[in-house]
Amino acid sequence: MGSAHVRRAVALGVPLVLAILFPLLVNNPYLVSVAVSAYVTAIAVYGLNVMLGYTGQLSLAHAGFYGIGGYTVGILTSDYGFSFWLALPIALAFTSLLGHLIGLAALRTRHDYFAIFTLAVGVMIVIVIERWESLTGGTDGLIGIPAPGSIGPLSFTSLNSQYYLALAFLVFTIYVVWSLMHSLVGRTFLAVRNSEELARAVGIDAGRTHQLSFVISAALAALGGGLYAAFSGSIGPDVGDVPMTFNMLVYLMIGGVASLPGPLVGTILIMGLMQALQAFQEYTLMILGPILILVVVFFPGGLAGQGKVLFERLTRREADQ
């Protein structure tokens, strides 16, 4: 095995090993809970990356789908006694169907108009959540959402067990996105992103491609939202609000759009930074703004993208020697 393959294996293996050992190394429940929150948020950011990074369309309703997934799991488990393991697939199916129906209308527009349309959809989702008090709890939200039920001898009531469950779902999400982007469907996504006119000229149905990416993006957002509701035990309208979408967009842009590790890198880095600077929470936008500008100006591919560039340069230099 060449040195480049060794480095790639190390680059993949070391973070995973560190993630597995994290609860044991830090021995701090608060930090573990922050990591759980970062993991489930990163799952939703991967959904945003599928839409923006791989087909070039920006959906500003993304947090709305995150909220729908969370509320569906919360309502089914707390109000109707469903098992989490049944409620989660129902939430994914329902959100995917809703994403498909919304996409039929939204994707008749393009670029700025698409973003404005989805922004309006995101606002409407929050209004419905706040006004439908008998179902969603209104502005008070839902409380008492049960944790995921046991699978045989595996129980998920403790914080550490929920951490490993969130990590498992995150790894699964990364694998799904990686598999998607290395498939014919993924190459179709990239073809439409790079030149929709050229893609149409070679027989690609651009409309259907955008529709599929929109549904996949909504499903991943719902997965993150459903996990968030089950792990936190409560959910409120703010998780589906437009500012949440902008936060996810910042995580993605700082980590790296159209980069496989980008959503995870950006989410962990910025959420960790915000936790470290909790005393300055009212200045969050003032802190994030300059960071985002610096990354966009000096690292247009994001931090993960810049890391990939450095890795390729190092590999090329060794190959030339």
Separation of alpha carbons 197 and 194, rounded Å: 9
Sequence-distant contacts of 182-189: CB under 8 A, at least 24 apart:
185/212, 186/54, 189/50, 189/54, 189/55, 189/213
Please check the confidence at residue 86 and state whether its pLDDT lies above 90: yes
In the chain, domain spans: 32-316
Mean pLDDT value across residues 259-283: 86
Overall average pLDDT of the 118-123 stretch: 95
pLDDT tens by residue, 280-296? 767 776 777 788 888 87
pLDDT at 155: 93
Report the alpha-carbon distance of residue 38 to residue 271 in Å, rounded. Answer: 7
Q: Which range among 1-5, 40-44, 85-89, 131-135 shows the weakest confidence by mean pLDDT?
A: 1-5
For residue 39, what are its two tokens?
A: 């993991």
What is the rounded average pLDDT for all residues in the chain? 90
6: pLDDT confidence band, cut at 50, 70 and 90? low
- Has residue 109 got a pLDDT over 90? no
Stretch among 125-139, 142-156, 299-313 having the lowest mean pLDDT? 299-313
How close are the terminal C-alpha atoms of the chain, in Å? 18
What is the Cα–Cα distance from 204 to 183, expressed in whole angstroms? 15
Of 153 and 70, which is predicted with more confidence?
70
Q: Which CATH architecture has domain 32-316?
A: Orthogonal Bundle (1.10)
How does DSSP classify residue 175? H
